[in-house]
Structure 1
């Protein structure tokens, strides 16, 4: 009897461990690998500074749950010219918003209470992934996020 209980406990522990590992692992990435290219245009001196670039689904969700600006991923670059590859899932998603800001003070944060000089901009392709374009992001506004640029005010 004790032997059967020990055997059962070992199986329960083994099953629990496997279940825990499986539940906590990263889900398999889905989507199609896409690449974008672009240029960030600014009148600011960007020598030695970092551009932060983020890509968003312009619209995400289906039906009444649709909403703008669902983040896909972000990256940084020292150059105003960029090329980046990422996984894009077209299921329930349309368009692409590419948002960038220049970290003028080097703190890695887009504006703070004491530093309000980081500039931002965005470019939109409503027809992505059906059409490709070279993104041109003009950094024109200080201390604003992607929702400042998209969706456009009516």
Structure 2
């Protein structure tokens, strides 16, 4: 029995070593301080809730690459606000800041019968950075983040 255990120990140690070797650890998250100024059209109630989200611009690779992976979200008001979050750099690239104002207070960004919620989006060009400052003017009715980014499809025959 003892000889059998002695023979299997090197096999287990080798398996353990192969399991521990290989990939580098993921990079640490980037701590980001976000300063945002949010404005809206004059007829929007200044006390209305603004839904603010930050996204990876792109995530995945090759044929599995896609836009707009959520990183963090908050509720705030019109005006200036500051937020802090950890940007997980290993999960994507680029930074998108998107906001919409809940003009009617129903918690939904537009419905088939109520179309008064307004939105805007900014792609942060100078990223990665630990300090990000953006301004948003909520003036696009019923627009989700995918309406703004990555932009319109190419014109003409794409096949």
Q: TM-score normalised by the shorter chain: which range applies?
A: 0.7 to 0.9
**Residue 144 (structure 1) shift:** 1.2
Q: Is the 8 A contact 1:49 1:102 kept in 2?
A: yes
With normalisation by structure 1, the TM-score equals: 0.73
| 1:150 equivalenced with 2:156 (yes/no) | no
Which residue of structure 2 lines up, in the alignment, with residue 111 of structure 1? Answer: 110
Q: Is the 8 A contact 2:32 2:131 kept in 1?
A: no
**Residue 46 (structure 1) shift:** 3.0
**Residue 92 (structure 1) shift:** 4.5
With normalisation by structure 2, the TM-score equals: 0.71
* RMSD between superposed Cα atoms in Å: 1.8
Deviations 1:94-129 (A, max 9, x none): 111100001110111101122110000111114421
Q: How does 1:28-39 map to 2 (within 5 A)?
A: 31-39=29-37
Runs of 4+ residues deviating >4 angstroms: none
SS at match of 1:54: strand
Q: Partners in 2 of 1:111 and 1:69 — Cα distance?
A: 20
Deviations 1:23-76 (A, max 9, x none): xxxxxxx62321111111211433221111011000112333221100112101
Which residue of structure 2 lines up, in the alignment, with residue 89 of structure 1? Answer: 88
Q: How does 1:1-154 map to 2 (within 5 A)?
A: 31-44=29-42, 45-130=44-129, 132-153=131-152, 154=154
Unaligned runs of 5+ in 1: 1-29
SS at match of 1:99: strand
Are the structure 2 counterparts of residues 130 and 33 from structure 1 closer, same or farther at C-alpha, using a change threshold of 3 Å? Answer: closer
Unaligned runs of 5+ in 2: 1-27, 155-159
**Residue 131 (structure 1) shift:** 7.5
